[in-house]
Amino acid sequence: MRDEFTKDWFGDGQDPAAYDPVRAARGAMKSRLPKRFYAEAIMGPVEQLFGVLLDGKPARTRGKALLAGPNATVGTMLAAEWAAQGEMIDPSTMPLTRIAHAALDHVSGAMDEVRADILKYAASDLVCYRAADPAALVERQARLWDPVLAHIETRYGARLLLSEGIRFVEQPPHALAALQPRLEPIAEPLALAALHVLTTISGSALIAIAVADGLLEAVAGFDAGECDADYEAGIWGLDAEAAERRALRLADFEAATSLLRALEG
């Protein structure tokens, strides 16, 4: 894969824990899209992995890692994004490729830092900050967020405190520590990168974990993260640009979820 093709897409040189594939794609959309430079994109075995073959040659990240996954399902999903490209290559339509690039070039060398960043979200998690009114928003938050909190407490023994409004609440250290066993066993960079994407898009480590655990499917998890924004949109409406941004975030959230499911299988 040509260096000039990837150099502006994936946030090379950024702090891996703060790297956001979604934001990288938005920046790439502002520049001229590159032309498709291959005729065929298929999945194939490469060095005991399952990777993307462009005209028979293994695709690589800017860091020279093979653009590949540990099983055929992941490799096929990646190859499908490349095969689906038209005359021009649009990174906004390739969320799995962006997540894989972040995982292989960035997250793989900073697994502890990325785990810490996910826990940092939990320390001020979206679902712990509740509205006092109006009643419709209070009900909406409870409906979407209470099952997440119940799951986290039941499965991990982490009981987090709630706050009303934007007043900061310091979470008990033992509650945050109870989440570490969920993150520590994640040894696959693709899985940790996908979980980080779910966390950053939703603004909630707890929602991300609930999705990863199978409590919530992708759309339900995304809707939980968009709870407040969707309530406001229901009142004031959603313009075309905001609707497009929401659709792109949803596509990335669904891609990260599908990647986690594929890695489990």
Q: Give the tens place of pLDDT for each residue, 39-69.
A: 999 999 999 999 999 999 999 999 999 999 9
- Spell out, as residue ranges, where the chain has pLDDT lower than 50: 1-10, 13
Q: Which residue has the tokens 């939703």?
A: 202
* pLDDT score of 238: 86
pLDDT score of 2: 46
pLDDT for position 265 = 72
- In this structure, the number of other CB atoms found within 10 A of the CB of residue 258 comes to 17
Residue range 111-264 in CATH 3.20.20.80: no
Say if domain 3-94 classifies as CATH 3.30.2180.10. Answer: yes
Half-sphere exposure of 99 (CA within 13 A, CB side): 32
Rounded-to-integer distance, Cα 195 and Cα 189, Å: 10
pLDDT of residue 22: 57
Note the pLDDT of residue 17.
53
Q: Looking at the chain, which residues constitute the CATH 1.10.3580.10 domain(s)?
A: 111-264
Residues of the chain with CATH 3.30.2180.10: 3-94
Structure confidence by residue, pLDDT tens digits, 62-107: 999 999 999 999 999 999 999 999 999 999 899 999 999 999 999 9
